[in-house]
């Protein structure tokens, strides 16, 4: 045995360090590292550094003009990224055709720094002004003409558009994906990495060669979701991502170092990225970095180019300050900045177009020719769609090449999707069966859970093609870990792209209902993207498992009572709460048919599969959002209508129904609710059917029962009756078996009876 050490003693610690230095060394295991800053580099054919510097000056001036015109915008990050974005575009490494910017063979672009729209639109203005001057068939004003291309259709922006920057009829405040050169709607810090991961995963898992280029900022890496994305990018082997990261050292409120005190590079090296460091204003260094990132390092890892820059470069007194982030200069200061840039603008308030004309006067024919020539290089990199479709077919050989839009409900459901009436089956068992069935019907379905696969039961579907890994890139199951934000943004983004052949993927991502609030902002961003870019509207299912008090033993930390209040309010998504397993199957088929995203509630405990017939409609009626489960007897007794949401709640009511009707002398009608929003739709498209379910005259008799937030059923009740007759759960509950927790909430049969009788007093 060797010498014994007391390593609490500094002297002995120093002896040990001298004797066995390896004990004090940590071998890092990240990707490839290359520092280009200050390195003498040979010129690259085609990269005219002086010309690109000149074009950068023009782009910077256009961006400043747009900000001054709007008296609003983000000059800091826009100005620090000018050389990065222009160099990236002009290297020709990106497969991109500005006249067909949504070609399925293009490389995708995500502006993770989505606030940098002054730069985004200034670059588009340079591109389309150059194409216009070369006589390409584009018209900046008229729409729908025959000899030319509609600028709205292709998402083009021209210099004169910049005077309406941040106005309702002009270029937007944050990046939206209907514009050219953008494939995600962004602006919330940190979301772009996850969106780009979704797009890159889709391409790679379909055997396609497209890459995703990300324009990012340093402060957004503070966002927890960005860590979740950085961690899983290389874990899944998603090496078709190239990130150009603007390291200008400032957020909005101050230096990034106030929040990230460890060496910044560690936050990329730790997750395994290849890293190239450059001077972000040195065009030759940037070109080398992008060309090397394009070629890769033969190690199967994604690459980040960390560009050291000056925030608010050339923006007067705000240069190199956090205040440049979103603070426009005073008009006189703007005029001075523009003149220092070399543009002798008139600088008349309210006449920004004259400033832009001065800037454009320095765009010479040789500049235009250079821009168009370099854009042609990118255009040539796009492979024909039919060739890409064949590539995809070969990669996905043996899988059905159809997407969710082509899958219809069979007239006779397969036996695995039909559950015995009168038995008890958890609705999570229905989704388990459905997702396994669906996975076998389409090559474009992705499924995963937030480290809850064994509880939510997504595993059977994931097994069909396996989990996506470095060794199984064509899998369809995704292991997200405990990363609900990244899970939601990744999963929604991959549905918002169109593959060769017109195919679109659908996704299901699942967590406990109580945790879905963590996903609310990514889902909100996805819904916005659907709204502003309907041509690429995505369909996805956010599964909220163990809804209501069902996760009883875990206590209030896991009881999903109030989650639906968030998603109930968002436009473009509906909350579906089927009562039993058969309704779950019918509602999933209906959601696919509609192609509208849903938040789907499923339960853990065994829940009664209701017997249909004898007045109880078939499970398919659930797609109306509400249906008559039991009509009035019309026996002359006092009428009440119980509007019920939740399978266990319905089962508990049925248990006390004879007592209510016989002992309490009531005539009870029961309306089952599966989605208040679907019922609102029914009232618009088929008011007669909606009235037959619940007429306006009958609303006076309504008492609502929901095993969660009572407001979910407010649409069924008259406003004066909200407090008294909207029965639900308004407080956090206790830990215990579900039966006990329902009892504690007063939603067991006895408690429900007491609540109903109190409500009708």
Is 759:702 a contact under the CB 8 Å cutoff?
no
Is residue 16 domain-resident? no
What whole-number distance in Å separates Cα of residue 267 and Cα of residue 262? Answer: 8
What whole-number distance in Å separates Cα of residue 257 and Cα of residue 506? Answer: 40
Element (H, E) at 68: helix 49-70
Is residue 25 domain-resident? no
Is 733:741 a contact under the CB 8 Å cutoff?
yes
Is residue 124 domain-resident? yes
Q: With cut-offs at 50, 70 and 90, classify the pLDDT of residue 531.
A: very high
Please tell me the predicted confidence (pLDDT) of residue 31: 93
Residues 409 and 313 in one domain: no
H helix intervals, 639-721: 647-658, 676-685, 687-693
402 is written with which tokens?
């159809």
Q: What are the tens digits of pLDDT across the range 229-274?
A: 999 999 999 999 999 999 999 999 999 999 999 999 999 999 999 9
Is residue 26 domain-resident? no
What whole-number distance in Å separates Cα of residue 631 and Cα of residue 652? Answer: 18
What whole-number distance in Å separates Cα of residue 306 and Cα of residue 316? Answer: 25
In eight-state DSSP terms, residue 329 is P
Is residue 737 domain-resident? yes
Strand positions, DSSP E, 482-526: 506-512
pLDDT for residue 661 is more than 90: yes
Is 556:732 a contact under the CB 8 Å cutoff?
yes
Q: For 523-529, what is the mean pLDDT?
A: 97
Non-local CB neighbours of 731 within 8 Å, separated by 6+ positions:
none
Domain count, the chain: 3
Please tell me the predicted confidence (pLDDT) of residue 566: 87
For the chain, the farthest-separated pair of C-alpha atoms sits apart, in whole angstroms, at: 97
Please tell me the predicted confidence (pLDDT) of residue 148: 56
Residues 579 and 698 in one domain: no
For 244, the domain range is 33-386
Please tell me the predicted confidence (pLDDT) of residue 275: 97
Q: What are the tens digits of pLDDT across the range 315-341?
A: 999 999 999 999 999 999 999 999 999
Is 668:660 a contact under the CB 8 Å cutoff?
yes
Q: What are the tens digits of pLDDT across the range 6-42?
A: 777 889 889 989 999 999 888 778 899 999 999 999 9
Q: With cut-offs at 50, 70 and 90, classify the pLDDT of residue 146.
A: very low
When the pLDDT of each residue in the chain is averaged and rounded to a whole number, the result is 95
Name the CA dihedral angle for 649, 654, 657, 658, rounded to a multiple of 10 degrees: -150
Which sign does the torsion angle of CA 683, 687, 690, 695 carry? positive
Please tell me the predicted confidence (pLDDT) of residue 294: 97
Residues 163 and 277 in one domain: yes
Residues 562 and 634 in one domain: no
Is 629:671 a contact under the CB 8 Å cutoff?
yes
pLDDT for residue 565 is more than 50: yes
Q: With cut-offs at 50, 70 and 90, classify the pLDDT of residue 143.
A: very low
What whole-number distance in Å separates Cα of residue 644 and Cα of residue 625? Answer: 12
In eight-state DSSP terms, residue 188 is S
Share of the chain above pLDDT 70, in %: 98
Residues 176 and 121 in one domain: yes
Please tell me the predicted confidence (pLDDT) of residue 71: 96
What whole-number distance in Å separates Cα of residue 734 and Cα of residue 738? Answer: 10
- Looking at beta carbons, which pairs linking 377-381 to residues 24 or more positions away fall under 8 Å? 377/46, 377/92, 378/89, 378/92, 378/93, 378/94, 378/95, 378/96, 378/97, 379/96, 379/97, 379/99, 381/92, 381/93, 381/94, 381/95, 381/96, 381/107
- Location of structure tokens 């939510």: 456
**Pick from 331, 353, 386: which residue ends a domain?**
386
What whole-number distance in Å separates Cα of residue 94 and Cα of residue 598? Answer: 35
H helix intervals, 134-245: 151-154, 191-205, 224-235
Please tell me the predicted confidence (pLDDT) of residue 238: 97
Q: For 83-96, what is the mean pLDDT?
A: 98
Is 154:99 a contact under the CB 8 Å cutoff?
yes
Is 370:48 a contact under the CB 8 Å cutoff?
yes
487 is written with which tokens?
């899970």
What whole-number distance in Å separates Cα of residue 146 and Cα of residue 142? Answer: 10
pLDDT for residue 721 is more than 90: no
Neighbours of 669 (CB within 10 A): 21
Is 597:527 a contact under the CB 8 Å cutoff?
yes
pLDDT for residue 145 is more than 80: no
Q: For 54-70, what is the mean pLDDT?
A: 98
Is residue 21 domain-resident? no
Nearest alpha-carbon partner for 69 in 473, 256, 347, 370: 347
Please tell me the predicted confidence (pLDDT) of residue 6: 79
Conformation bin of residue 665: beta by default, left when phi > 0, alpha when psi is -120 to 50: left
What whole-number distance in Å separates Cα of residue 428 and Cα of residue 418? Answer: 14
What whole-number distance in Å separates Cα of residue 251 and Cα of residue 709? Answer: 38
Nearest alpha-carbon partner for 632 in 717, 698, 725: 698
pLDDT for residue 76 is more than 60: yes
**Pick from 568, 602, 636: which residue ends a domain?**
602
27-60 burial, b at 16+ Cβ within 10 Å, e below that, comes to: eeebbeebebeeeeeeeeeebbbebbbbbbbbbb
H helix intervals, 571-628: 581-594
668 is written with which tokens?
């009870």
Residues 352 and 256 in one domain: yes
pLDDT for residue 302 is more than 60: yes
**Pick from 328, 352, 386: which residue ends a domain?**
386
Nearest alpha-carbon partner for 80 in 252, 279, 371: 279
Residues 381 and 448 in one domain: no
Helix, strand, coil percentages in the chain from 3-state DSSP, rounded to 5: 45, 15, 40
Please tell me the predicted confidence (pLDDT) of residue 142: 40
What whole-number distance in Å separates Cα of residue 713 and Cα of residue 267? Answer: 46
At 319, phi and psi to the nearest 5?
A: -60, 135
At 580, phi and psi to the nearest 5?
A: -145, 180
Is residue 619 domain-resident? no
Residues 525 and 648 in one domain: no
What whole-number distance in Å separates Cα of residue 692 and Cα of residue 669? Answer: 12
Q: What are the tens digits of pLDDT across the range 179-217?
A: 999 999 999 888 999 999 999 999 999 999 999 999 999
H helix intervals, 659-721: 676-685, 687-693
pLDDT for residue 147 is more than 50: no
Domain CATH code at residue 746:
3.40.50.920
Q: For 609-633, what is the mean pLDDT?
A: 96
pLDDT for residue 519 is more than 60: yes
Residues 368 and 245 in one domain: yes
Residues 215 and 90 in one domain: yes
Residues 434 and 556 in one domain: yes
Q: How far apart are the first and last CA of the chain?
A: 85
Is residue 1 domain-resident? no
Domain CATH code at residue 477:
3.40.50.970
Residues 668 and 574 in one domain: no
Q: For 111-137, what is the mean pLDDT?
A: 95
């Amino acid at each position: 045995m060797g010498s014994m050490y007391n390593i609490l003693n500094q002297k002995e610690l120093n002896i040990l360090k001298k004797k066995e230095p390896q004990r004090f060394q940590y071998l890092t295991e990240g990707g490839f590292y290359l520092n280009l800053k200050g390195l003498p580099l040979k010129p690259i054919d085609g990269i005219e550094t002086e010309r690109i510097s000149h074009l950068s000056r023009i782009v910077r001036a256009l961006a400043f003009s747009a900000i001054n015109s709007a008296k609003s915008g983000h000059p800091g990050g826009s100005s620090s990224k000018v050389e990065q974005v222009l160099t990236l575009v002009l290297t020709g490494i990106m497969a991109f055709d500005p006249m067909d910017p949504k070609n399925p063979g293009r490389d995708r672009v995500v502006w993770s720094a989505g606030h940098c729209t002054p730069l985004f639109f200034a670059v588009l203005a340079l591109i389309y002004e150059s194409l216009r001057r070369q006589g390409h068939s584009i018209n900046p004003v008229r729409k729908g003409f025959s000899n030319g291309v509609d600028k709205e259709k292709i998402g083009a922006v021209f210099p004169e558009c910049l005077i309406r920057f941040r106005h309702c009829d002009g270029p937007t405040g944050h990046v939206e994906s209907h514009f050219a050169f953008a494939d995600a709607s962004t602006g919330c810090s940190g979301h772009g990495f996850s969106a780009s991961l979704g797009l890159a995963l889709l391409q790679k898992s379909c055997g396609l060669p497209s890459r995703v280029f990300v324009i990012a900022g340093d402060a957004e890496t503070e966002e927890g979701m960005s860590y979740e994305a950085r961690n899983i990018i290389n874990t899944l082997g998603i090496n078709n991502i190239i990130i150009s990261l603007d390291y200008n050292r400032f957020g909005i409120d101050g230096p990034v170092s106030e929040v990230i005190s460890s060496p910044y590079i560690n936050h990329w090296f730790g997750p395994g990225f290849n890293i190239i460091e450059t001077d972000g204003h040195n065009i030759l260094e940037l070109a080398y970095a992008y060309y090397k990132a394009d070629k890769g390092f033969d190690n199967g890892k994604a690459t980040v180019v960390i560009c050291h820059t000056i925030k608010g470069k050339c923006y007067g007194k705000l240069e190199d300050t956090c205040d440049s982030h979103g603070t426009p200069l005073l008009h006189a200061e703007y005029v001075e900045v523009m003149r220092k840039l070399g543009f002798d603008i008139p600088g008349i308030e309210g006449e920004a177009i004259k400033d832009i004309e001065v800037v454009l006067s320095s765009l010479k024919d040789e500049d235009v020719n250079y821009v168009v020539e370099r854009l042609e290089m990118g255009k040539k990199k796009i492979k024909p769609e039919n060739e890409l479709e064949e590539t995809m077919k070969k990669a996905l050989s043996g899988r059905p090449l159809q997407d969710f839009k082509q899958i219809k409900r069979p007239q006779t459901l397969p036996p695995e999707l039909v559950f015995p009436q009168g038995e008890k089956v958890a609705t999570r068992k229905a989704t388990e069966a459905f997702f396994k069935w669906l996975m076998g019907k389409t090559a474009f379905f992705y499924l995963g859970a937030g480290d809850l696969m064994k509880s939510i039961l997504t595993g059977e579907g994931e097994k069909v093609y396996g989990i996506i890994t470095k060794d199984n890139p064509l899998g369809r199951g995704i292991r997200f870990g405990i990363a609900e934000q990244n899970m939601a943004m990744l999963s929604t983004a991959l549905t918002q792209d169109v593959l060769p052949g017109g195919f679109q993927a659908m996704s299901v991502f699942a967590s406990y209902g109580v945790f879905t609030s963590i996903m609310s902002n990514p889902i909100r961003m996805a819904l916005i993207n659907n709204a502003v870019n309907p041509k690429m509207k995505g369909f996805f299912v956010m599964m909220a498992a163990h809804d209501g008090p069902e996760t009883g033993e875990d206590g209030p930390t896991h009881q999903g009572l109030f989650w639906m209040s968030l998603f109930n309010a968002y436009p473009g998504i509906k909350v579906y709460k089927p009562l039993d397993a058969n309704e779950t199957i019918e509602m999933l088929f209906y959601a696919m048919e509609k192609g509208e995203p849903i938040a789907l509630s499923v339960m853990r405990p065994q829940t009664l599969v209701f017997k249909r017939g004898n007045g109880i409609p078939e499970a398919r009626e659930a797609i109306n959002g509400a249906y008559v489960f039991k009509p009035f007897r019309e026996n002359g007794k006092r009428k009440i209508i119980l509007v019920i949401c939740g399978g266990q709640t319905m089962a508990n009511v049925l248990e006390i129904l004879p007592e209510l009707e016989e002992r309490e002398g009531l005539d009870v009608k029961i309306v089952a609710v599966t989605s208040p929003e679907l019922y609102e739709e029914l009232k618009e498209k088929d008011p007669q059917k909606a009235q037959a379910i619940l007429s306006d005259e009958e609303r006076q008799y309504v008492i609502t029962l929901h095993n969660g937030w009572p407001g979910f059923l407010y649409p069924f009740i008259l406003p004066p009756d909200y407090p008294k007759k909207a029965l639900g759960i308004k407080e956090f509950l206790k830990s215990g078996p579900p039966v006990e927790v329902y009892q504690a909430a007063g939603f067991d049969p006895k408690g429900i009876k007491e609540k109903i009788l109190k409500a009708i007093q």
